[in-house]
Structure 1
Amino acid sequence: MEVDCQSLTQVRAHIDRLDRQLVALLAERGAFVAQAARFKSDTDEVRAPQRVEQVIAKVRELSRELGADPEVTEQVYRSMIAAFIRAELAEHAALAQRPTEPQ
């Protein structure tokens, strides 16, 4: 959707709208990241550098398709992934501390 804004106020209103959508998507992504911790046996699986590179390649291609700057997209994703890995490592550690329930 391309909008021809007539003022900085309009530009900022559209950016604010997009920020709300982006944060909602980050919350949704974070919930799935937390779930993923349950399925990983160790911290190497959480860090998964090969998976990180797969995601980066995928989003760079999406950037090209959608008219975004692949360099900006990669930088944003690398930062986001690093933050989610830290959160997932914490979740993974918390899960490891929980006593297992008897069968």
Structure 2
Amino acid sequence: MTEPSSLAEVRELIDGIDGELVRLLAERQGLVQAAATFKKDTAAVRAPDRVEQVITAVRARAVDAGLAPDVAEAVWRAMITAFIDLELREHAQIQEASSPGENA
């Protein structure tokens, strides 16, 4: 990649990356929603050991890619928190749909 020659060009390149990130996050969301169907309870959704495994791997990938590991960790922790919240909602809906109604 050649160095951008203006702030407008920098912003245009960032906008393009943001578009790709949104596409990838939407793909990740679909997988998170699918994962909710395999988990038995909210502890499995929260999976703190898995979160730490992901963070460790992301920090290593960040170093390899030239990204500050602290930046990568902060972004991934925020993303994981948001996806856990989404997955908890999905999981609750699945559980509600699969259990017989109490007022039936």
In the superposition, the TM-score normalised over structure 1's length comes to 0.94
> Stretches of 4+ moved more than 3 A in 1?
none
What aligned pairs does 1:56-95 form with structure 2 within 5 A after superposition? 56-95=55-94
Letter in 2 for 1:28: E
Instruction: Please tell me whether residue 20 in structure 1 is matched to residue 19 in structure 2.
Output: yes
Q: Secondary structure at the match of 1:44?
A: helix
- Aligned partner of 2:28 in structure 1 is 29
Shift in Å at residue 3 of structure 1? 3.0
Shift in Å at residue 99 of structure 1? 3.7
Structure 1 unaligned segments of length 5 or more: list them.
none
Q: Secondary structure at the match of 1:18?
A: helix
Letter in 1 for 2:69: P
In the superposition, the TM-score normalised over structure 2's length comes to 0.93
1:61–1:8 CA distance, 2 compared to 1 (3 A)? same
